[in-house]
Amino acid sequence: MDKEDRNPLLAGLINALIPGSIHWYVNKDRGRFVKAFLVGVAAYVVAVWTGNTIQHSRGYALPPGIFISGLVMIVVVVLFVSGYKVARERRSERDDATMYNAKRIVAHESDENKYTKIQEMRDEGLISEQEYDEKNAKVAAQKK
C-alpha cells in the first residue's frame, strides 16, 4: 500500500464532516475543495432551513427536529458516498498505473531508452514527479 493511498471509508467520513475535503485529502486539489466546500455548506444550510420551515408550518405535529435531522442525514450520506467513491476511483487509477508501469519497462533496455520511457510515463501522467526522479536515480545507479 502506497503512502499516498487513501482509505475510502476514512475519506468518506472526512468528506461528510468537512464537505469537499475529499479533493484535498485524495488529490491535493485546492480549487475543487473550495468549490465543493461551498456547495456542501450550502446543502447543509438548505437542509436545515427547509426542515425548519416544514417543521414550523401548520399541520405537522411531529416531534421537533425530525425534518431537520432527516434532511441533514441525507446530505451526510450523499457526502460520505461521494467521498468514498472518489477515494476508490483514485485507488483504482493508482493500481492500474502501477500494473501498467510494471509491464511497460523491460529489463534489458539501453539507458537512453529507459530514460525516454520514464519521460513518456511522466508526460502521460502515469507517474508523479517524485516517482520520475526515483526511476531516473535507479537507472543512473544501475549504470555505475
What are the pLDDT digits (tens) for 53-75? Answer: 877 776 666 677 777 888 889 99
**Tell me, what DSSP letter sits at residue 19?**
T
Give the percent of the chain with pLDDT over 90: 12
112-121: average pLDDT: 84
Shared domain check, 84 and 33: yes
Is residue 43 pLDDT above 70, yes or no?
A: yes
Q: Which pLDDT score, from 0 to 100, does residue 39 have? A: 92
Separation of CA 12 from chain center: 9
123 assigned to some structural domain = yes
Shared domain check, 121 and 76: no
Shared domain check, 121 and 72: no
Shared domain check, 112 and 65: no
Distances (CA, A) of 115 to 2, 94, 133, 136: 23, 21, 11, 7
Q: How many domains does the chain have?
A: 2
99 assigned to some structural domain = no
68-83: average pLDDT: 89
Is residue 1 pLDDT above 90, yes or no?
A: no
Q: Which pLDDT score, from 0 to 100, does residue 12 have? A: 86
Shared domain check, 109 and 84: no
Parent domain of 45: 1-91
Shared domain check, 128 and 59: no
Amino acid at 50: T
Shared domain check, 117 and 56: no
Is residue 2 pLDDT above 50, yes or no?
A: no
98 assigned to some structural domain = no
